[in-house]
Amino acid sequence: MSIHLTLLCAPGGDPTLDPLLGDAHLSEDSMHMADAARAVLSPREPAIRAPSIRCSETADAMGLVASSEPMLRDLNVGRWCGRTVGEVAATDPDGFTAWLTDPDATPHDGESVRQLCRRSADWLSSVAPHTGHTVAITEAAVIRAVLIDALAVPARAFWHLAVPPLRAVFLTWRGGCWDVQFGGVSPQEPRRRLLSRRATLAVGSA
C-alpha cells in the first residue's frame, strides 16, 4: 500500500495584523508567497483543499486545480468567528486560557480541539490505499490535528505544534504507521525527516 500526502498550510491573511479567527482573503504578501511556490509543485499533481476562501485562493495562486474536501475545514470557533485573537483574549480571558489548555473546552460554543482531532483522524484513515502522491492545502489547525493522529501524541500537544504558512508536512504510510517529514516548497529548503510515529508511540494516545 502506497500513500504519500503533502500537506501545505495556507497563509492566514496579513501577518502584520492581529490574527483574525475564521476565514479571510489572502493578503497581497500572502498571494505573492503562494505564487512563488508555483514553480515547485506540478500543476498535474492531484490536489485537494479545505473549503475556505484562503485555501481556494492559495490553490489558485499555486496553479493547482484542487477539489474541495469538507473534512479538511478549519476548526469551528463558533461565536468567536470574525474576532481577533487579541479581542477574545481581552474580553474572555478565562475562556481563551481554557481553549489553549483543555482540548475538550468549547468556550466559543463551537468545535473542541479534540473533536477536530477526531475529524482529521477520520479523514486520514479514509485516504484510499495506493493513493500515490496527493497535495492537500488546508488550515494550520487541521495540520496540527493530523499530526496529533499521525504521531500518536496527546491532543493537549495541539497548540505546541508550529505550522508556518506554506511549510510542508510530508506523510508516508509505511509498515502500518505514518512517517512524518517537514520541509518547504522552496527548492533551497529540502525535506528533513524529523519525526516518525514509531519514535513517539511511547508518548501515549490522545
pTM of the model: 0.87
d(CA 171, CA 166): 15
d(CA 159, CA 174): 27
pLDDT of residue 60: 94
Q: Which domains does the chain have, with CATH numbers?
A: 3-203 (3.40.50.1240)
d(CA 7, CA 48): 10
pLDDT in tens, 141-153: 999 999 999 999 9
pLDDT in tens, 82-101: 999 999 999 999 999 999 99
Q: How do strand 177-184 and strand 167-174 relate by DSSP bridges?
A: antiparallel
The burial of 159, by beta-carbon neighbours within 10 Å (0-12 exposed, 13-18 middle, 19 or more buried), is given as middle
pLDDT of residue 175: 80
Grid coordinates given for 183: 520541509
pLDDT in tens, 60-81: 999 999 999 999 999 999 999 9
Average pLDDT in the 39-62 region? 87
Confidence band, pLDDT 50/70/90 cuts, at residue 35 = confident
Task: Mean pLDDT check: name the lowest of 95-99, 130-134, 169-173.
Answer: 130-134
